[in-house]
Structure 1
């Protein structure tokens, strides 16, 4: 076989490889070239910033709806917006209704926003990507925007996926008319708006945002089509507090006759997280006395300790504002 035949055979081989790559390549695909002929050699994996990769939770969260007390309405709403479109998209197609893209969870700290986001990821068996808004506030120009882009690239590759953005007010606060504020933070928010507009609900990517300050969020972030539903998480009622403490004390060795209703009445302004803290503190009081059971008195002392700590924090905050 002559050298011309060898060259022709090599050219034919590379043409076949190129045709195959053209079928599998998409815009922004990273490829490797051969040094001798600059012919496409292979497709490289997508480059993702290591900081973005750390946001991906490899294991499905173990939180379930049974672990959440007093949030029946909120659970029903998030099921409609997140769980139903992922599990049964054909229902939306049959009705001709567009699938929701995202939901905003807002309310005071400790009311169960993060816990519910983890629970819905567990029940949908989705890749859970958690990111704090503060992590997207970067020092150098363009870094925050790039991280947002790579975050959504990773979500597309790992779909079905849920992106949980906590403390969204860090990058989503209202823009001033005079153009004041941190321009880099605004660029990051504009990139987030662009990404929310750029993906289709059928891609099985859902966005859950959480904040304690809905009053300072930009109106462009909250409009329908980006955030399709807003779910409020108020402080629990007395009945909800009883449910929460019953959930967190069901594995504890409680002395017969403990009345959780009396405990709940002594915590009128407490959050769900504080109800859980009371159960933990009650167990610690029993542990200090080397007992294997928890008494009503342990719970009452735990309420005094947790609520006193909470009132001291509120007093210090009030002093700062004066």
Structure 2
């Protein structure tokens, strides 16, 4: 059996200093990577928790706004009802004369939160049921069908698009455009402003185009209504629509009311009691005349009919 002789009298040589430093650096680098990864994980958790916190705060704010809205609605529902009246006359700085249907007329006080300069005759207001104090100014009651008659986009037609009507354009400028742009001229001369103009002629001669051009050049509210829309089945409906039409025109003054097919309500006046249905049409026309020349006539409203 072969044997190997080994000399164990001398210990093995120790590792050099470079090898020890290299091992220490390797261990430090691993520890550094470990802490960097740990810091990255913690920063990721912080971002996630911050995102969740922002989301919960947004939900909390949304719920708080809903709670406030529901509390306000609940408070309004629990409040006693109010009487709806119409202002007849402003009397001084703190009192107004209000007509309440069907009870009558009352002189009432005005709440301190109400601006009296916004109260004019025919304004709808709310009165407290216990003290009859005016505490709220209500919007005008206008039929939704009447609101649809308002033209939001002004027509882009101009006078240059109309040919052969130079004299008519000059006259309609004097009747419609001049009183709206320069009302002081009529006041200085002491003459009344024209209420409107009637355009007549065969179809296709430029009547509607002329009205569209007037609305474009005057830069005011343009309300378009067909005369057949004012012919209603029930008694008083056509007159009511005419009144609400002029109420809306006053709110958006200066304004032009363009009535097409005015002959549908402008027929010859007949004897009352004929029973042929023309009486309701006559009431509608009389209401139109009353709005033009009645007690509440306005110089800032012009009527253009075809």
TM-score, with length taken from structure 2: 0.59
Contact 1:86 1:160 in 2 (8 A): yes
Q: Kindly state the Cα deviation for residue 146 of structure 1 after the two structures are TM-superposed.
A: 0.1
Q: Kindly state the Cα deviation for residue 18 of structure 1 after the two structures are TM-superposed.
A: 5.7
User: More strand per residue: 1 or 2?
Assistant: 2
Within 5 Å, which residues of 2 pair with 1:177-216?
A: 177=271, 180=274, 181=276, 182-198=278-294, 203-210=299-306
> Distance between the aligned counterparts of 2:226 and 2:150, measured in 1?
12
In the alignment, structure 1 segments of 5+ residues that lack a partner are: 1-13, 211-322
Within 5 Å, which residues of 2 pair with 1:50-69?
A: 50-69=144-163
In the alignment, structure 2 segments of 5+ residues that lack a partner are: 1-107
TM-score, with length taken from structure 1: 0.57
Alignment counterpart, residue 136 of structure 2, candidates 19, 42, 66: 42
Contact 2:154 2:222 in 1 (8 A): yes
1:71 aligns to what? 165
1:264 aligns to what? none
> Distance between the aligned counterparts of 1:186 and 1:18, measured in 2?
45
Contact 1:102 1:208 in 2 (8 A): yes
Within 5 Å, which residues of 2 pair with 1:234-253?
A: none
Residues 22 and 141 of structure 1: CA distance in aligned 2, closer, same or farther (over 3 Å): same
Contact 1:136 1:188 in 2 (8 A): yes
User: More helix per residue: 1 or 2?
Assistant: 1
Q: Kindly state the Cα deviation for residue 28 of structure 1 after the two structures are TM-superposed.
A: 2.8
Q: Establish whether residue 90 from structure 1 lines up as the match of residue 165 from structure 2.
A: no
Range moving further from structure 2, 188-197 or 130-139: 188-197
Residues 82 and 113 of structure 1: CA distance in aligned 2, closer, same or farther (over 3 Å): same
Q: Kindly state the Cα deviation for residue 73 of structure 1 after the two structures are TM-superposed.
A: 1.2
> Distance between the aligned counterparts of 2:305 and 2:273, measured in 1?
25
- 1:204-260 Cα deviation digits (max 9, x unpaired): 1111111xxxxxxxxxxxxxxxxxxxxxxxxxxxxxxxxxxxxxxxxxxxxxxxxxx
Greater relative contact order structure (CA < 8 Å, 6+ sep):
1
Q: Kindly state the Cα deviation for residue 100 of structure 1 after the two structures are TM-superposed.
A: 0.6
2:245 aligns to what? 151
Contact 1:55 1:131 in 2 (8 A): yes
> Distance between the aligned counterparts of 1:199 and 1:164, measured in 2?
22
Q: Establish whether residue 111 from structure 1 lines up as the match of residue 111 from structure 2.
A: no
SS at match of 1:62: coil
SS at match of 1:100: coil
Contact 2:110 2:135 in 1 (8 A): no
1:133 aligns to what? 227
1:222 aligns to what? none
- 1:5-38 Cα deviation digits (max 9, x unpaired): xxxxxxxxx9662694655423332223446755
> Distance between the aligned counterparts of 2:182 and 2:228, measured in 1?
34
Superposed CA RMSD in Å reads 2.5
Alignment counterpart, residue 215 of structure 2, candidates 98, 118, 121: 121
Q: Which has the larger radius of gyration?
A: 2
